[in-house]
Every structure is written in C-alpha cells, then in structure tokens.
Copies of this chain bind each other. A is one copy, B any other.
Amino acid sequence: MYEKKIPKDFSCGMAILMEIIGGKWKSYLIYLIANNVRRPAELQRAIPSASRRVLDLQLRELEFHGIIKRVIYPEMPPKVEYFMTPFGESMLPVVASMETWGAEYMETFRQLMENKQKTMHTDGECVEIKKDKPVIRGRRTLAKAV
C-alpha cells in the first residue's frame, strides 16, 4: 500500500468513516457486495468506468479495514468471493442513508450546478452576478466599496 506521509487523526467519527469509504468507488463496492455481487470480475463489470486496478486496490483497503472478507476458493480457474463482515454490515444503514439523501436531492443538485454553469460561461450578460458577486468576492472591491 502507498505509504502515507501525513499522519491521520482518527479522533472523530467522520474521519473514520471517511477513511473507510472515502475512495472513489468504495461505496459502490460496499453496496454491490452487500447485494450479492461477490466476485471480482462481476464487480468490474458492474462498475465499468473504474479501472480494474483501482477496484482491486480499494477492495484490498476495504478488506484491510475489516469491512469485507475475501474468500479464496483454491480452484482453477481462480475463484474469489467477497463478503461483508459484521463490522461492514454495521455500516450499511449509514451508506444507505447517504445514498438515499443523494438520490433524493439529485435534481436539486443538478439544477443548482446548471445555473452555476450558465452564470459562469455566459460572457455576455451575467447581470445578477455582476450586481453583487464582485462586492462579495473581491477583497479589493470590498475595500473600495467601504
């Protein structure tokens, strides 16, 4: 594993949760494994936009953190399956609530971002913005304004 240089401080709950599910695909992996998608190749097919390598790495980390368990069947061709540990299962409600919130506010979020886009790329007239943003944003402008 990559050797970290900046020590981490796990004195608060969020830090721990983030350490565990912070990776780009980890929450997907947890979700999938909890829903019986167990084998590496299946997981890769389920998340095609992720490279095989990262999924591997993140699965290792989830295993390292005690969230999932890797079971190897000594067969040929190789067979591996992942299972949630009890510790991992304990976090499913949290993951679910995160997913639920995100899904519920997906539209809100998208529309918000769309509006930003508009006001950011329109070089012609971003009137409302020009009205207050400079005053709000710039230090210099504020100074002048006062």
Contacts and interface: CB of A to CB of B under 8 A. Distances in A.
Interface residues of A, number: 52
Contact of A12 (B22, B102, B104): B102
Interface in A75-131: 75-76, 78, 87, 90-91, 93-95, 97-106, 108-110, 112-113, 116
The A contact surface, by secondary structure, is helix
A99 to B, nearest CB: 4
A48 to B, nearest CB: 11
Interface in A8-56: 9-10, 12-18, 20, 22, 27-28, 31, 49
Interface of A: 9-10, 12-18, 20, 22, 27-28, 31, 49, 64-66, 70, 72, 74-76, 78, 87, 90-91, 93-95, 97-106, 108-110, 112-113, 116, 135-136, 139, 142, 145-146
Q: Which of A17, A104, A112, A142 has the most CB of B within 10 A?
A: A17
A135 B72 CA distance: 9
Nearest to A91: B101
Contacts of A64: 116
Q: How many copies does the complex hold?
A: 2
A146 B76 contact: yes
